[in-house]
A and B are shown apart, each in its own frame.
Chain A
Amino acid sequence: MLVFTGWVLSSCNKQLNLYPQDALSEPTFFKNANDLALYCNQFYHDLPQQNSFWSDRYSDNEISLDHGDGLLDGTYVVPVTGGGWDWGAIRNVNYFLQRYQKTVADQATLNKYAAEARFFRAYYYWQKVIRFGDVPWLDRDLSDTSTALLYGPKMPHKQVMDSVLADLNFAVNNLPGPDVADPGRLHKYAAYALMSRVCLWEGTYRKYHAMGYEAVYLNATVTASEAIINSGNYDIWSTGNPKTDYYNLFIQDDLTSNKEAILPMVYIRNVLTQNLTRELGESSTGFTKDFARSFLCEDGLPTALSPLYKGDDSLDAEAASRDPRFSQLIATRGFVLTNNADGTKNIFSLPQIGTATAPTGYMIIKCLSPDPAQWNAAQSTLDLFIFRYAEVLLNEAEAKAELGQCTQAVLDNTINKLRDRVAMPHMVIASLVKDPNSTFPGLPVLLDEIRRERRIELAADGFRFNDLLRWNAGSLVNNPATILGMKLIPAIRAEYPPNQVSGVVVDANSYIRIYTNVNARTWNDKMYLYPIPTQELTLNPNLKPQNPGW
């Protein structure tokens, strides 16, 4: 009996040794270079592609009928969990960095994928710093759940960003050039582009929040930007049509050969598609009065100074003689909304206020194509920018200006290239005049105008709110014009069917009020950082104190 039992048990145990046949498990992975690539593939969809539908919705540039998370309304409540405190992606990077070296591959290949991983870690950590300021820094994945690291304190903002910069330096030094990189994969200049973006943000954040040591980052911005500029690989895209080139840049089916694209997000029918055109057609969001005001006139002068400015009693008047990007960002009379399949066109006349299409009257048309195929839900094949050369030029100009090194030559190499595309007069340092209505009245005129150029060129691309944060300029959302739309004088109102606009509320100056309960938003400095979820503070008291003001 005992023998029988023993025999049964030993044979049982053999039968019970079963392993998954259909999945990769830890001991068998990271064997070869292909495994490294497959692993790093998981991070790519986190690349920050432009999204003109939602990425600027909650800033002074745009206003949305919904209120997002309520941060700008002052209604954001400290969450118990969630609230952006998600560390999965950072763990995934660290998991890789702890193990990739066991792969059999040459050092350059190992370094290449480590560089990809560190590129993403830099990006993820930068996002954490933007949202929370000081955050714990982890450079490994944790498997022991009792470790002191798991319950460790926050690392100061500056120290975290120094680690971010180290990751970025590793990335630019170890990623291949775009000519030899595998299609779609990160390359050296994509890393420089991120470095340019991150370092400008950090450098100016340190400067305007009086944290010190900003020069390192401003210089790194310049280094990174110039590496891209001097590579000769990139240029501002133009066909010589200043009235349409800017608009057309963002409705292209293929950006991979577009010289302005340092890294595009590629969409291909039946492979991967997007939904921007359709969403913009019913965005419930629009540019604000404040943003519309910031366009220069076509003589290069602000509206307050230019004789060309015709006032804003109608959108037609407002758009006339303005920076041509005005009517390439905002739908104005004559804009073709759709080329219908039957050959007819839906052509824009009056701004479609009182609807979800254009509540402010300033309908966003960046990345909105009139091609009916692109209107099909989630079937649009238009490529989008991840890193665009124009941004690098703006970063370069701003960093140089912050460093006091912005010469006319710098402007000609940067800002004025952008202006050439839209046939705007060059920015000339010697003749710059301070705009009496400037949003930054205390700022030197050069920086002021560089910021304006950035606001226009990168409108709806998701930079604006982070720019306000780094410039310590959150209080700009207090400006009443940031929650107003276009002017709706009675004469214009009379042109609409009465019931369409009967619900549209205007202020004393006939500007459309989107938020009728308040005349202006109230910025509170606590909004520079989001609060840490309360459960996290309970679980790890070392994370205390809560971010200021929350």
Chain B
Amino acid sequence: MIRHVPGRGGTKTLLMMNLTAILMLTACLEVSAMGRAQQITLSEKNIPLKKVFSEVHKQTGYLFFYDLKELKDSKPVTIAVSNAGLEAVLDLCFEGQPLTYTIVNKTVVVKKKIEVDRVAPEITLPPINVEGVVTNQKGEPLAGVTIYIKGTKKGATTDDHGNFRITIASTGSPTLEFSFVGYESQSVKPGGQTFLRIVLKDAAADLNSIVVVGYGTQRKENLTGAVATVGSKDLDSRPLVNLAEGLQGLVPNLNIGLVNGRPGAAATFNIRGVTSVNSGNSNSGAPLVMVDGVQMDPNLINPGDVESVTVLKDAASAAIYGSRGAYGVILITTRNGKKNAATRLNYSGAYTITRPTRLPEHLNSVDYINMHREADRNGQLSGGSTASFPFTEDDSVMAARYFADPKNNPSGYPDPGNPSKYRYVGNTDWVKVLYPGWAPQQQHNVSVAGGSDKTSFIGSLGYFDQKGMLKLGHEDYQRINPSVKVTTEATSWLSLNLKAALNHIRTERSNAPTNSNANSYIQGDGRPNMPVYNPGGTDYSGQGNWTNPVAVLAQNGRDIITANDLWFTGGAVLTPVKHVRVNADYTFNNYSGFEQQVQKQFPEYGVNHVLLDYYPWTYPDATTEVGTNNNYTALNLYANYENTFNGLHYFKATVGYNQEYRHYKTVNTTAINLIDPGTPFIALNSDPKPSIKGNDNEWALNGLLYRLNYIFDNKYLLEVDGRYDGTSAFPNGRRFVWSPSASAGWRISEEKFFLSAKDIVNDLKLRVSYGRLPNQQFDPLDPTKQSDPYIYPYVGLLPTSQSGYVFGSQQSTAVGAPGLVSPEFTWESVTTKDAGIDFSLLNQHLSGSFDWYTRETSNMLVAGQPLPGVLGTSAPNKNSASLRTNGWELSLTYNDKIGNDLSYSLRFGLSDYKAKITKYDLNPTRSLGSYYVGQKFNEIWGYVTDGYFKTDAEAAGYDQSQLTGVAELAGDIKYADLDKDGKITRGDNTVPRPGDQKVIGNSTPRYQYGFNLTVQYKNFDLALFVQGVGKRDYMPTDNAFWGFQSEWSVPFIYMKDHWTSDHPNAYFPRLRFGGGGNFQNQTKYLQSAAYARLKNLSIGYSLPQEVLGRIKLKSLRFYATGQNLFEVTKMFKAYDPETIGFQTYPLSRSVSFGLQLGL
């Protein structure tokens, strides 16, 4: 019998035990606590052991810890003692039981017996005693190392001097397994040896189990926060445009928004859903993104350089980043060289062709003109909107002729109102003209890495080039990323490292004629009756209100952006004394951007090549140049102390200081009167008054940070971390803030009582965390926020502009009044509670984790709340709103092999969140025009569609006059009278009195999932990745859906299915410009934006070793990949379910061919 677990005891243990006791309560264990004497009198026959415990407890006050499951196997006890000692009684009770006990202070811990020295009966030969010592690589003995005999439940642990003793069978060549926190496990077959010297390797080399956390690393099994990681393996197998695309769907609740498919377009990141009302309805309160410890734009880096990505989801893990980590942190670590490694050269390259995922189908000219006239007539009939530029009978006739026989009929004829101009009657499908086919893309990566025993290095060069799908725009995006990293051990106590990296970007495209079209040329007004060229000539068409996108793309100037984003980081790691590491690094970043926008005037010609005028939005010839010179410095100083005492108490402390400073500077000049428009360099101008603008602002952040980790016996994990932060974004006196957090974990699987289940459940850990982080709610990397109102939100600024009025011979500067600034506002506060479970099962084939969280964003700075209009400006920001986001995320991974040749891995992630406004002082009436208490985020209010009016009389007798002033007719939409007041109204437009409106849906993407399958068969590999959203509503409001939002909108082909008296069951109502009352949010037209998309399908082949040997290569793999190949969705056909909205550059489907080669 073991009375005392070797090497355990002391007050610290007991503290830990008491804490554990609290945890055990939740795990179905019974505990009670009372103090009594230690003399026991007991006389019972065949009573359950449990009863004995409770009797002993009553008499002595000793607590009993036990697992009910284990007690099931116990035998009943017959006992008769009088004034006996505790241990005597317990010894009696445990005799012959499959259980044992330990007394620790006033607690009796009951555990399953480890059958250390029992010999299996079937073994006839005598067992062998094996002894030994376990040390680390430095020769230091390791205490508390667990030793198991593989395939049995027998085991032992090392003592304080690292010594162990175990008895094994002499046949069947048993294997001993040695495992210890922080070290790689090791299996040893003793053979005939009776003394073993085991050296456990530091697990730092085991990359999969080491996770980069803020200012340090952590072993995965010791994490107590909600942390997810992605390794390079998950990113490597396919060509990525940027890192964001590669991460999409890999981490549950890391929500990545692909804004559009324009070359070089940046993606948006979000962790765990709705963050703050200040991020609008886009859910995109951005997380902090750090690359190798400094804040960097993830869209600029080379995805090929990425070694790992860590996502810190909860406040406890992000607290060390303080005020910027409120909405989570993404840590990106780039590849490093390895010491003592031969120099290796790797190349990977891919060639890709892309085309749009979904493009809307246009109407032809005849249908368009007919429908336009129909809508006009409907307006005339009912007093609704009519066309100010109606089509005539002539137009219909001529268009029909051209449509039937384009060769022999003109695509335009002189306008009787102005004979110099055309009336267009051609037939052009602008979508097809603009997006005709496939666009190429290529990328190449070369890296060289290696190292001696003191120094390691890696150098890489990435090149990426993407052509746009908007063919006539000749769009091009290039990214070149050279980088070098060197680490060297200068002395035994000093290691130095240096990193230099350049992100070079060059984007070229046609200079967008107006801002609204900047992302797209599928204009809302691409009228099909306009030809590309004027009839019978080579003049581009387009005049007055008719803009020809082809003419603009072909004749306007270019918009060229180049940027050099240069990074230098120098660092030192000191190990002055044992267990202490001091890190110091300093980063300098210079981002110098240069943009040249050239505007070229071009004429529009009319009938007989008469010069009509110049296209107005590119007039006159002008050059704009924008120079950006941003500097950023960051200093990180932090020290770690790490030690394990008695083999039981692992302790790690980190304290540090972080300081960052950013300086933005831009100069923006525009000159007209170019000396030679063909040489649009800005200095070649004779503009008497070129326009010069600029920005100059600074931002700084300081923080003191700390983290304490304590692990007892490899089982009980505790972490406390936090930061004290100050920012220049708040006024003096309100700028410092505290971010405390704590988290704890319990590795149940390391408990002795768990041993029996260890074969099935290899690892099991419970985690809880709590943290409260402030948020300064400003993202310094967001270029749209690099302006004074964001950087100095507490300073009232007087805006300046041009006067719009000529004083004498020039406009003058006009200075306006500042908006209202509340002097009182301060940090938002974000509190996150998280509970999670990590597990691995079935010989670690199946692993996964589940987290539940709630995030409370309080004291949100709220702007734009309704105040009476006579205020004359927006209401000042106040800390007066709160919201709560609840969610969960699940990830599961299953790895296995079938035979020797086939291995596969399945990975599934699922997440969900909901958010609700819990406080909103500024809308006491609960008006629907604003946030209100109790509002579910992204809810959609609307009317219930009650079909179409069957007759004009029915419409006339139904009062919808609050929605529209026009006389409604048959085929207009009838809404249900929910409040039965005899008319359709919006009431007060408040929650208590919404009239006939109700919540009809919610546009929050629910149940986002990702499913990955990778299969390796011999030399072939296959990867498949499906990503999607389980539930989401979307209420379309644009003219891709509604068609004629005005007479200028051009409907798509879907609008042909509209109501007419001959077609009363159509999908769309009667045609109207502006819709009258028909375009309300309503149930009938609510779309489901749920989708499942095959994001990636890759097939690869790696050359076998024997062939590689012959051609002197280390590795060579060929692959083909398809991205976004297809999707399943019920979404309205004009929209891509991911980007939704057609006035944006489309996402692409792509097919790539690539190779990866190692020398």
Interface size class of A (residues with CB under 8 A): 35 or more
Cα-based distance from A94 to B811 in the complex (angstroms)? 24
A372 / chain B contacts, CB cutoff of 8 Å: 611, 613
Residue from the list A45, A86, A340 in contact with B803, Cβ < 8 A: A45
Query: B672 and A346: CB pair below 8 A?
Result: no
A536 / chain B contacts, CB cutoff of 8 Å: 868-869
Cα-based distance from A158 to B461 in the complex (angstroms)? 77
Cα-based distance from A148 to B799 in the complex (angstroms)? 28
Cα-based distance from A535 to B986 in the complex (angstroms)? 12
Residue from the list A45, A143, A377 in contact with B614, Cβ < 8 A: A377
Given contacts A29-B815, A65-B390, contact A20 B788 (CB under 8 A): yes
Q: Check if A159 is an interface residue, CB within 8 A of chain B.
A: no
The distance from the CB of B547 to the nearest CB of chain A, in whole angstroms, is: 11
Q: For residues 357 through 400 of chain A, which have their beta carbon under 8 Å from a beta carbon of chain B?
A: 357-358, 372, 375-379
Most chain A C-beta atoms within 10 Å of own C-beta, residue among B383, B698, B962: B383
Q: Which residue from chain B places its CB closest to the CB of A144 in the assembled complex?
A: B820
Q: Check if B852 is an interface residue, CB within 8 A of chain A.
A: no
Stretch among B31-39, B241-249, B392-400, B933-941 lining the A interface = B392-400
Q: Check if B386 is an interface residue, CB within 8 A of chain A.
A: yes
Residue from the list A268, A342, A378 in contact with B806, Cβ < 8 A: A268
Q: Which residue from chain B places its CB closest to the CB of A347 in the assembled complex?
A: B419
Q: For residues 529 through 550 of chain A, which have their beta carbon under 8 Å from a beta carbon of chain B?
A: 533-536, 538-540, 543
Query: A503 and B393: CB pair below 8 A?
Result: yes
Query: A150 and B868: CB pair below 8 A?
Result: yes
Query: B812 and A18: CB pair below 8 A?
Result: no
Q: Check if B902 is an interface residue, CB within 8 A of chain A.
A: no
Query: A26 and B796: CB pair below 8 A?
Result: yes
Cα-based distance from A114 to B994 in the complex (angstroms)? 47
The distance from the CB of A391 to the nearest CB of chain B, in whole angstroms, is: 20
Query: B697 and A21: CB pair below 8 A?
Result: yes
Most chain A C-beta atoms within 10 Å of own C-beta, residue among B389, B689, B697, B798: B798
Q: Which residue from chain A places its CB closest to the CB of B601 in the assembled complex?
A: A376
Stretch among B564-572, B725-733, B755-763 lining the A interface = B725-733
Q: Check if B192 is an interface residue, CB within 8 A of chain A.
A: no
Query: B807 and A41: CB pair below 8 A?
Result: yes
Q: Check if B700 is an interface residue, CB within 8 A of chain A.
A: yes
Q: Check if B805 is an interface residue, CB within 8 A of chain A.
A: yes
B988 / chain A contacts, CB cutoff of 8 Å: 534, 538
Q: For residues 211 through 266 of chain A, which have their beta carbon under 8 Å from a beta carbon of chain B?
A: 265-266
Query: B964 and A77: CB pair below 8 A?
Result: yes
Cα-based distance from A299 to B794 in the complex (angstroms)? 70
Q: Which residue from chain B places its CB closest to the CB of A378 in the assembled complex?
A: B616
Q: For residues 329 through 383 of chain B, which have their beta carbon under 8 Å from a beta carbon of chain A?
A: 380-383
Given contacts A151-B868, A357-B417, contact A18 B385 (CB under 8 A): no
Q: Which residue from chain A places its CB closest to the CB of B990 in the assembled complex?
A: A538
Q: Which residue from chain A places its CB closest to the CB of B613 in the assembled complex?
A: A376
Q: For residues 454 through 478 of chain A, which have their beta carbon under 8 Å from a beta carbon of chain B?
A: none
A151 / chain B contacts, CB cutoff of 8 Å: 868
Given contacts A145-B867, A145-B875, contact A538 B927 (CB under 8 A): yes
A64 / chain B contacts, CB cutoff of 8 Å: 388
Chain B proximity mask over A333-359: 1 for CB below 8 Å, otherwise 0: 000011011101010000010111110
Q: For residues 493 through 526 of chain A, which have their beta carbon under 8 Å from a beta carbon of chain B?
A: 496-497, 499-500, 502-503, 515-518
Residue from the list B418, B695, B990 in contact with A337, Cβ < 8 A: B418
Query: B392 and A354: CB pair below 8 A?
Result: yes
Query: B389 and A22: CB pair below 8 A?
Result: no
Q: Check if A73 is an interface residue, CB within 8 A of chain B.
A: yes
Cα-based distance from A323 to B733 in the complex (angstroms)? 75
Q: Which residue from chain B places its CB closest to the CB of A379 in the assembled complex?
A: B619
Given contacts A379-B614, A503-B390, contact A87 B872 (CB under 8 A): yes
Stretch among A4-12, A160-168, A300-308, A424-432 lining the B interface = A4-12
Query: A5 and B815: CB pair below 8 A?
Result: no
Q: Check if B699 is an interface residue, CB within 8 A of chain A.
A: yes
Query: A516 and B380: CB pair below 8 A?
Result: yes
The distance from the CB of B701 to the nearest CB of chain A, in whole angstroms, is: 8
Cα-based distance from A94 to B701 in the complex (angstroms)? 38
Cα-based distance from A96 to B979 in the complex (angstroms)? 49
B392 / chain A contacts, CB cutoff of 8 Å: 354-355, 499-500, 502-503
Q: Check if A2 is an interface residue, CB within 8 A of chain B.
A: no
B866 / chain A contacts, CB cutoff of 8 Å: 535, 539
A38 / chain B contacts, CB cutoff of 8 Å: 800, 812-815
Stretch among A195-203, A278-286, A413-421 lining the B interface = A278-286
Chain B contact residues, CB within 8 Å of chain A: 380-390, 392-394, 397, 415-420, 544-545, 610-616, 619-620, 657, 659, 661, 672-673, 687, 689, 694-702, 704, 726-728, 732, 735-736, 788, 791-792, 795-801, 803-818, 820, 866-873, 875-876, 925, 927, 929, 961-967, 986, 988-990
Additional A-B contacts beyond A21-B698, A375-B613, A540-B870 (4; CB < 8 A): A16-B701, A21-B696, A91-B817, A96-B817
A-B contact pairs, 15 of them (CB 8 A): A16-B732, A19-B795, A21-B696, A24-B800, A66-B385, A73-B383, A80-B989, A87-B869, A278-B544, A278-B613, A338-B420, A340-B420, A515-B383, A533-B869, A536-B869
The 9 tightest CB contacts between A and B, nearest first, are A91-B872, A75-B965, A355-B417, A377-B616, A499-B394, A45-B804, A183-B808, A357-B417, A284-B388
Chain A contact residues, CB within 8 Å of chain B: 5, 8-9, 12-13, 15-26, 29, 35, 37-39, 41-42, 44-45, 47, 64-67, 70, 73-78, 80-81, 85-92, 94-96, 136, 138, 141-143, 145, 150-151, 182-185, 265-268, 270-272, 278, 281-282, 284, 337-338, 340-342, 344, 346, 352, 354-358, 372, 375-379, 496-497, 499-500, 502-503, 515-518, 533-536, 538-540, 543
